[in-house]
Amino acid sequence: MLGHIFMILVTGGAGFIGANFVLDWLAGSDEPVVNLDKLTYAGNLGNLASVQDDPRHVFVQGDIGDTALLDGLLKQHRPRAIVNFAAESHVDRSIHGAEDFIFTNIVGTFRLLEVARSYHAALIEPEKAAFRFLHVSTDEVYGSLTPQAPAFKEDHVYEPNSPYSASKAASDHLVRAWHHTHGLPVLTTNCSNNYGPYHFPEKLIPLMIVNALAGKPLPVYGDGQQVRDWLYVKDHCSAIRRVLEAGRLGETYNVGGWNEKANLSIVHIVCDLLDELSPRRDGESYRTQITHVTDRPGHDRRYAIDARKIERELGWKPAETFETGIRKTVQWYLANPEWVQSVQSGSYRDWVATQYGSTGAGA
């Protein structure tokens, strides 16, 4: 294969983080993107509306488990990198049924790795040396921390506790093995909880915003004292760009914003911002809508990321604080009611009825 390679392949680029990544990439670079996404319930072309007529964005609907499709796409577009966002991503859904998580997160990643391996083997220098496979993963693979334990470093033991995190852990191991055994030039990022625009309202922050504005209960699992470490999605995207550019082959990089907060305090912050930016007509606070509901089975108590390696080696730091990022996020949801309405399809209503039906927080 000869010729200058100037193109990346993104998988799962119609989902929350993938779409933000594609939008930010095209805003900052002329390099085209092929975007392969199955368009599950979580994938939404509306996230990509601003680049739908951009010739640098080629959208392909398809599955990362479809070897023939992947093979054809790599031969046709000859990307210099693959960035794998495609996954089933919601812990609660993995508890209701894990099969899609096994197929996409494990089998799909395996097939993508295999196709990438043959593609990479057929490349010639200098393209071969420049090729990268970046796997986007999560802090949940490390399990749960006690309150005083130090934050997760890259060499923390893998102790996944949910079907979702177990499937992501399996995919991380496959990526590692394809590097170690087959020499595939891989990079892995393990990031903490993201929030920001286009976040599907099955996840904590967008669910709370959407339910608050709809006058519905705000369902906090258990005592609400579980801790997550929040990062604005565009900071995650900048970290991935930086790792792609300068990460050391075969390494993993933890990505986080040093923003640990208990769930209940997140919900209070969201309510207080809504009280300020879109107050209830009756003058009451949105906090009055908070309801404690049955806890998530196997609920991890605390995640926290030690992000010193990516800062030290690659000079990456988040641009947003939690205060600036959450304000932008709430403002985005207030400014985009059509997007919210468009993602609340029949399947979304079925999900909230299944998960929250008995609590009053469902549709």
Q: Please identify every residue annotated as catalytic.
A: 139-140, 164
For ligand DAU, which residue of 116, 174, 207, 210 counts as binding (CB under 6 A)? 207
CB of 47 to ligand NAD, least distance (A): 8
- Strands of the chain, DSSP E: 8-11, 33-37, 57-61, 81-84, 132-138, 186-191, 193-195, 218-221, 227-232, 252-255, 260-262, 290-293
- Name the DSSP class of 100: H
Q: Which does 86 bind (CB under 5 to 8 A by kind): ligand NAD, ligand DAU, none?
A: ligand NAD
- CB under 6 A: which stretch of 25-33, 83-91, 106-114, 283-291 binds ligand DAU? 83-91
Contact between 192 and 231 (Cβ < 8 Å)? yes
Q: Based on CB atoms, which residue is closest to ligand DAU, 223 or 323?
A: 223
Q: By CB under 6 A, is residue 271 in contact with ligand DAU?
A: no
Are 238 and 314 within 8 A, CB to CB? no
Token digits of residue 100? 């899609």
Instruction: In angstroms, give the least distance from the CB of 213 to ligand NAD.
Output: 21
Computed over its alpha carbons, how large is the radius of gyration of the chain? 20
Q: How far apart are CA 123 and CA 285, in angstroms?
A: 60
Greatest CA separation for the chain = 67
Query: What are the tokens at 125?
Result: 């220098």
In whole angstroms, the minimum distance from the beta carbon of 18 to ligand DAU comes to: 12
Short-list 125, 119, 132, CA closest to 247: 132
Q: Which of 40, 44, 84, 89 binds ligand DAU (CB under 6 A)?
A: 89
Interacting residues with ligand NAD (CB under 6 A): 11-12, 14-18, 36-40, 42-43, 63-65, 85-89, 104, 108, 136, 138, 168, 191, 193-194, 200
> Of the candidates 171, 192, 254, 259, which one interacts with ligand DAU according to CB under 6 A?
192
* 79 vs 206, beta carbon nearer ligand DAU: 206
- Residue showing tokens 């006690």: 146
| Integer CA distances (angstroms), 282 to 211, 287, 288, 306, in order | 17, 13, 12, 43
Is residue 51 a contact point for ligand DAU (CB under 6 A)? no
> Which residue is nearest to ligand NAD, using beta carbons?
15
Interface with ligand DAU (CB under 6 A), residue from 37, 63, 139, 235: 139
User: Among ligand NAD, ligand DAU, none, what does residue 91 contact (CB within 5–8 Å per kind)?
Assistant: ligand DAU
Token duo for residue 237? 């995207």
Least Cβ distance, residue 344 to ligand DAU (angstroms): 15
Alpha-carbon distance of 258 to 309, in angstroms, equals: 13
Cβ proximity to ligand DAU, 57 vs 168, nearer residue: 168
Rounded to the nearest whole angstrom, what is the least distance from the CB of residue 344 to ligand NAD in the complex? 15
Would you state the structure tokens that stand for residue 159, as one six-digit string? 């102790």
Using rule CB under 6 A, residue 303 touches ligand DAU: yes
Q: Which amino acid is at 326?
A: I
Residue number, 91 or 134, with CB nearest to ligand DAU: 91
Within 13 A of 131's CA, how many CA atoms are on the CB side?
24
- Using CB under 6 A, which of the segments 89-97, 126-134, 249-257, 320-328 binds ligand DAU? 89-97
